[in-house]
Amino acid sequence: MTILDNSAEKQAALLSKTSAEPTAANETRTASGSGKKPPMSNSFLDRFFQISKRGSTLAREFRGGLVTFFTMAYIVILNPLILGGFSAENAPTDVAGGWLSAAQVGAVTGLTAGVMTIVFGLVANLPFGLAAGLGINSFLAVAVIQEVTWPEAMGLVVINGILIVIFGATGLRSAIFRAVPKELKAAITVGIGLFIAFIGFVDSGFVRATTGGPPVQLGDNGSITSIPTLVFIIGMLVMGILVARKIQGGLLIGIVATTVLAAVAEAVFRIGPGSADNPGGWHLNVPVLAGQLVSVPDLGLVGQFDLFGSFARIGGLAATMLVFTLVFTNFFDAMGTMTGLAKSAGVAHKDGTFPKLKSAFIVEGMGAVAGGATSGSSNTVYIDSAAGIGEGARTGLASVVTGLLFLGSMFFTPLTSVVPLEVAAAALVVVGAMMMAQIREIKFTKFAIALPAFLTIVTMPLTYSIANGIGVGFISFAIISAASGKIKKVHPLMWVVTVGFIIYFARGPINALMGA
């Protein structure tokens, strides 16, 4: 649920008018798709972030950063619900009976997301927001703490981050990135678009799981019966209309307007939070301001990690397999997400790479280290950043704005919860539609690439994992290319990664065979 892929922008028109293979030249286009550079500025911010050079303006960067924060702010509420609680009875407890305070998790979630997003904006100069990754935090809460304590689990996250930083600093991560065929990179972007759209549909209640028959269905037995889902539909249409009409700030205007609508609906109908007894309630955030608005954050979890304790508790082999799982998930989720976001922002080159690629990979790895060190879970690039990109963000200034707002969220948690998940979900669906434009880069007439691309695209939303989609695509591409006499088209590093993904997918049986 990373509202989630995990991609975005160029304000409808920009994506529709972008060439089949975005290049650095796209950086000179404006968010409205006019193809004209905005007036050049000699300000320090313009020179440092290359705002005019990338066809943006200060207003677009600030607006984009604001939109990205609103679409990511749910993590400040959701991460504490996944990792912590207000007592041992309602929190995930580890093997020693330990648990994390929800209030403390919320504070470090905002702190780490704020610091790492600002660092990413300053160093990598890309409009990507970082926060606790939902895949890894769920893995920690559901599986890892069944074997180790919370401090030991966070120590594994830190080790995972250190390895990713090493991969980035040595150039290995960049080399793997460059070894991926451009068609698969386009498929990753399209898959992420479908993924975040699907996340939006599920988070809004527009699509729901069933207990019998097909795996999912529309609303409640094929009908839209809840007011929050209706608000989602209205919000999606409003944002779609504004973007289609090339209204500057369309997504932000849509988010604010739909939030107001949601607040009015809550005030009139008293809908309340969703639960087993109230299936038609709001998901996660109820759009109402109540009680204390400002609080002092409790940062007591900072530094509460045990780097090597898990190796002593469960043994080197079992701990290593946990690290392997964390690294693979972190490594390829982030790589896929950044691929899609860079293409959406128009800063990607023909081969799919983008400016300051190595720096971006290193800082993203540092996010994992910081997340483990603060017990907020590994921080990674969020596909929700696509919403800000769709609003016109093209540089790291937008990330700085988003990061500052995250730091502020530590003190104003009630304000971050005003925007209901249904409203953020509407923005994700619109952005997902924008990302589909990249499908034009895939030559479906060549089945050796068509099937791997197709598998990449559909696996992401169906398995709720960007890494799974990349893995299935890589494996199928390597095998099909080799078997069809085109083995030379498979880069040696692709074979290495393919073997790694095979091990990754078979880690359950491997653990069982080794007694881990």
What pLDDT sits at residue 344? 86
What six digits make up the tokens of 47?
């020179």
Q: What is the pLDDT of residues 493-514, one digit of tens each?
A: 889 889 888 987 887 787 777 6
Query: Residue 205 in contact with residue 229, Cβ under 8 Å?
Result: yes
What six digits make up the tokens of 381?
């690039």
State percent of the chain over pLDDT 90: 36
DSSP letter string, 128-186? --EEE-HHHHHHHHHTGGGTS-HHHHHHHHHHHHHHHHHHHHTTHHHHHHHHS-HHHHH
What pLDDT sits at residue 417? 65
Amino acid identity, residue 375?
A: S
What pLDDT sits at residue 412? 78
What pLDDT sits at residue 209? 79
Q: What is the pLDDT of residues 4-35, one digit of tens each?
A: 333 333 333 333 333 333 333 333 333 334 44
In tens digits, the chain (516 residues) has pLDDT values of 343 333 333 333 333 333 333 333 333 333 334 445 555 566 889 999 999 999 999 999 999 999 999 888 878 877 887 788 767 777 789 999 999 988 899 899 999 999 999 999 999 999 999 999 876 887 788 778 988 999 999 999 999 999 999 999 998 888 887 888 888 888 887 887 888 788 889 888 888 877 777 787 887 777 787 899 999 999 999 989 998 987 866 777 888 899 899 999 999 999 988 887 888 888 877 888 766 677 889 999 999 999 999 999 988 877 887 888 788 778 877 887 898 899 889 888 877 788 888 999 999 999 999 999 999 999 999 988 988 998 899 999 999 999 999 999 898 766 666 778 888 788 888 878 887 888 888 889 889 999 999 999 999 888 887 778 888 999 999 999 999 988 888 889 889 889 888 987 887 787 777 665
What pLDDT sits at residue 37? 53
Q: What is the pLDDT of residues 78-129, one digit of tens each?
A: 788 778 876 777 778 999 999 998 889 989 999 999 999 999 999 999 999 9
| Ramachandran angles phi, psi of 85, nearest 5° | -170, -175
Model pTM above 0.85:
no
Query: Residue 61 in contact with residue 401, Cβ under 8 Å?
Result: yes
What pLDDT sits at residue 348? 86
Query: Residue 380 in contact with residue 364, Cβ under 8 Å?
Result: yes
Q: Which residues of 475-492 are buried (b: 16+ CB within 10 A; e: fewer)?
A: bbbbebbeeeeeeeebbe
What pLDDT sits at residue 40? 56
State percent of the chain over pLDDT 70: 88
Question: Cα separation of 294 and 273, whole Å?
Answer: 22
